[in-house]
Amino acid sequence: MTEHPASAPTPRTPRLGFSGVPKRWFAGSTAATHVANGVNLLFPAGERFFVRSVKHYLDQLDDPELVAQVRGFFGQEGRHAQAHERFFDTLREQGYDVDAILEPIEELAYGVVEKRSPPALRLAVTVALEHFTAIMAEDALCADDLAGAHPVMKQLLEWHALEELEHKAVAFDVLKAVHPSYALRVAGMALGTALLGTFWIQATRALLVQDGMTWRDAVRELGTLRKQAERTGAHMSKPIVTRVFLRGIREYLRPGFHPNDKDHRRVVEATLARLTAEGVVGALEEAA
């Protein structure tokens, strides 16, 4: 049972055009932009992996409410992948060889690790990564982490974030229904953390190299941004390792943890209302 049973997540297609997004779209900073681009590059294939991992168990689910939630989750993740891939075209126009970056990552992640992992572990990795995604989504919507983003990228990430919070418990509830093992959950977190951390760094590094910036200069630039954020008391002053990974692991390892322990319905509703008013999502689009 979930603490806050919700209706099935609604897939929405955002109305967003990326052609006007500048190269340094995050805080005017090369380093911060590529940290954001780095994780963005991982989303589409990652989200399709999440869908495959959950789909494997669809026939074993006998709760119609959970099946409806799973179908909504598939629809949302599919649309996220498509929207982020549309942004890849803008990155290509800006001169980045996105495919050269993604090829080795996807070969290792989905050609080797996914193929050699049993379905239960694949699902457990998905659940762990969905928890990290929910943390990033909460930070994006509640802690003003997107304050420095270009308006269109801000809308893209806010739409993605609100839907991540809508379906944050779906994969977890599937795992609980088919493999309610704490050890498996922990194994999924260990592998998920290693994969996300490694590939995020790899993608960011590759983008920096293509932009002619050294890792050392990028770290220095991020340090300057963090000091500026510290002066204003902004949440972004904390490194990603602390605010995403360590927080995520700490929460997730609590034996009684459930993604709905934290109620995000208010922020989801408020963000949806705002994005609807801004014309990013809306009744016309959903009816189409």
> What is the contact surface with Fe ion in residues (CB under 5 A)?
47, 77, 80, 164
* Phi, psi for residue 263 in degrees, rounded to 5: -90, 115
Signed CA dihedral, 123, 118, 184, 248: sign only: negative
Q: Considering the complex, what minimum distance in angstroms separates the CB of residue 221 from Fe ion?
A: 28
Task: State the residue number with the nearest CB to Fe ion.
Answer: 80
Q: Considering the complex, what minimum distance in angstroms separates the CB of residue 42 from Fe ion?
A: 11
Q: Euclidean distance between the first and final Cα of the chain, in Å? A: 34
Contacts of 103 (CB under 8 A, 6+ apart): none
Between 82 and 214, whose beta carbon lies closer to Fe ion?
82
Between 80 and 150, whose beta carbon lies closer to Fe ion?
80
Q: Considering the complex, what minimum distance in angstroms separates the CB of residue 24 from Fe ion?
A: 25
Contacts of 134 (CB under 8 A, 6+ apart): 164, 165, 168, 259
Between 128 and 206, whose beta carbon lies closer to Fe ion?
128
Between 135 and 152, whose beta carbon lies closer to Fe ion?
135
Q: Considering the complex, what minimum distance in angstroms separates the CB of residue 210 from Fe ion?
A: 25
Q: Considering the complex, what minimum distance in angstroms separates the CB of residue 237 from Fe ion?
A: 26
Q: Considering the complex, what minimum distance in angstroms separates the CB of residue 251 from Fe ion?
A: 16
In angstroms, rounded to a whole number, what is the distance separating the alpha carbons of residues 156 and 138? 15
- Helix 64-93 with 30-55: angle, nearest 10 deg: 150
In angstroms, rounded to a whole number, what is the distance separating the alpha carbons of residues 191 and 102? 19
Between 164 and 173, whose beta carbon lies closer to Fe ion?
164
Amino acid residing at 167: H
Residue 117 per-residue DSSP state: S
Q: Considering the complex, what minimum distance in angstroms separates the CB of residue 271 from Fe ion?
A: 15
In angstroms, rounded to a whole number, what is the distance separating the alpha carbons of residues 245 and 131? 10
Task: Pick the closest to residue 170 from 63, 273, 84, 270 (CA basis).
Answer: 63
Between 136 and 207, whose beta carbon lies closer to Fe ion?
136
Between 208 and 272, whose beta carbon lies closer to Fe ion?
272
Task: Pick the closest to residue 189 from 142, 132, 145, 151 (CA basis).
Answer: 132
